[in-house]
Amino acid sequence: MEDRTHKHHRTHINSDVIFELTVLYITNSHDRQSISLVCKRWYELDSLTHKHITIALCYSTTPEQLRRRFP
């Protein structure tokens, strides 16, 4: 069990490093949205690294939804 936990942790760290190296080159907002669909961890990391949020329709989201997605 301990070996499995260690392997999961190592994979998690590798995913973070790959994300950090990749996201530097992605400036298009649609592409940025697409990379957040790669895996759950990238979704979480994407929400932490967004600098701008564009809301096309004011009724499409609520402030609470935005706070959950972009802490």
Looking at residue 28, its pLDDT comes to: 84
What does the pLDDT average to over 31-58? 79
- Provide the percentage of residues in the chain whose pLDDT is more than 90: 0
Name which of 6, 71, 2, 9 is nearest 43 in CA terms.
71
Name which of 38, 39, 18 is nearest 10 in CA terms.
18
Boundaries of domain holding 29 = 2-69
Calculate the average pLDDT of the chain. 76
Q: Total structural domains in the chain? A: 1
* Alpha carbons 49 and 41: distance in angstroms, whole number: 12
CA dihedral over 14, 18, 23, 29, signed as positive or negative: negative
Would you place residue 20 in the very low, low, confident or very high pLDDT band (cuts 50, 70, 90)? confident
Q: Is the pLDDT of residue 21 over 70?
A: yes
Looking at residue 3, its pLDDT comes to: 55
Higher pLDDT: 18 or 1? It is 18
